[in-house]
Structure 1
Amino acid sequence: MEDSRKLLLTTRIPVRWGDMDFYGHVNSTLYFRYFEQARVEWIEQLDFPVDPGQGEGPVVINASCTFLIPVNYPATVIVKVFAGDPGRSSVMTWYELYVEGDERLFAEGAAKVVWMNMRTGKSAPLPDRLRALF
């Protein structure tokens, strides 16, 4: 992860039994959901509704995850959201996923978030309130 990253949010998410796959561990697609949930909590905590009916809002244009240790039910994951220096309309975000009660890093991810004008489908400048956090 980048040296200039800033911790924005730490959240806890319970793992549901249905999150597991045939192999008995959390399905890889769910890690992206956990990161998404943390990102939405962070954005909404800033009073920006994550709602397609709004004129502008965040969209992910690229996402990745490195799976380090399988997560199994029952568990509560802890997701930490970090961000780097913002650009005109985008910010790079990173994620660390832990299991409550275990200090090991289970997964790490990244997503480039672009502020989008929902009517035009084009990028828009990051709001000043959001930019001020960095």
Structure 2
Amino acid sequence: MRHLYRCPLRWADMDAYGHVNNVVFLRYLEEARIDFLFRPDKEFQQGSVVARHEIDYKRQLVHRHEPVDIELWVTEIRAASFTLAYEIKDGDRIYVRASTVIVPFDFEAQRPRRLTAEEREFLQKYMDDAADAAGAGKGAGVEEGAVAA
């Protein structure tokens, strides 16, 4: 299953040519990740840090008033890290494909920690490695999240 975040575009996101600036896409990924991991009804509440980002820009996104869809899913779960994959898109038109390696973190002890059983169970619901290998992942289930204001 995939998580869907409807990301609003802002005037400040655009460059001099009216396109969304490439740097802004990292903020969009962050917004989708926060919506996915840190909602009150979710199990993942103890904190995490980003260890790595990879981003492939596929086409320019022209600024408009309608939000853009960000689909997010889990591609790997390890003892003390997991990987999220993303597509920023409109239907079949993909603007960005990206991935993020995330490390659970104990902020009191100031060190990485292992995933809890509850976190692992939550992440497993969004495991979609077949869709990641296929690229666009047609036919994957999508669960919609909240839209940031």
TM-score (norm. length: structure 2): 0.74
* Partner SS state of residue 38, structure 2: helix
Mapped to 1, the partners of 2:44 and 2:93 lie a distance apart of 32
Mapped to 2, the partners of 1:122 and 1:11 lie a distance apart of 30
Q: How does 1:1-134 map to 2 (within 5 A)?
A: 7-45=1-39, 46-49=42-45, 56-74=46-64, 75-99=66-90, 102-133=91-122, 134=124
Runs of 4+ in 1 over 4 A off after TM superposition: none
Select the structure with the greater relative contact order (CA < 8 A; seq sep ≥ 6): 2
Instruction: Give the paired residue count.
Output: 120
Question: RMSD value over aligned CA atoms?
Answer: 1.5
1:63-119 CA deviation, whole Å, 9 max, x = no partner?
1211111111104210011112311110011110003xx421111001000001112
Change (3 A) 1:8 1:118: farther
TM-score (norm. length: structure 1): 0.82
Identity of aligned residues (%): 24
Q: Which runs of 5+ in 2 are unaligned?
A: 125-149
The one-letter amino acid paired with 2:117 is: D
Q: Which runs of 5+ in 1 are unaligned?
A: 1-6, 50-55
* Partner SS state of residue 22, structure 1: coil
* Partner SS state of residue 17, structure 2: coil
Mapped to 2, the partners of 1:47 and 1:89 lie a distance apart of 16
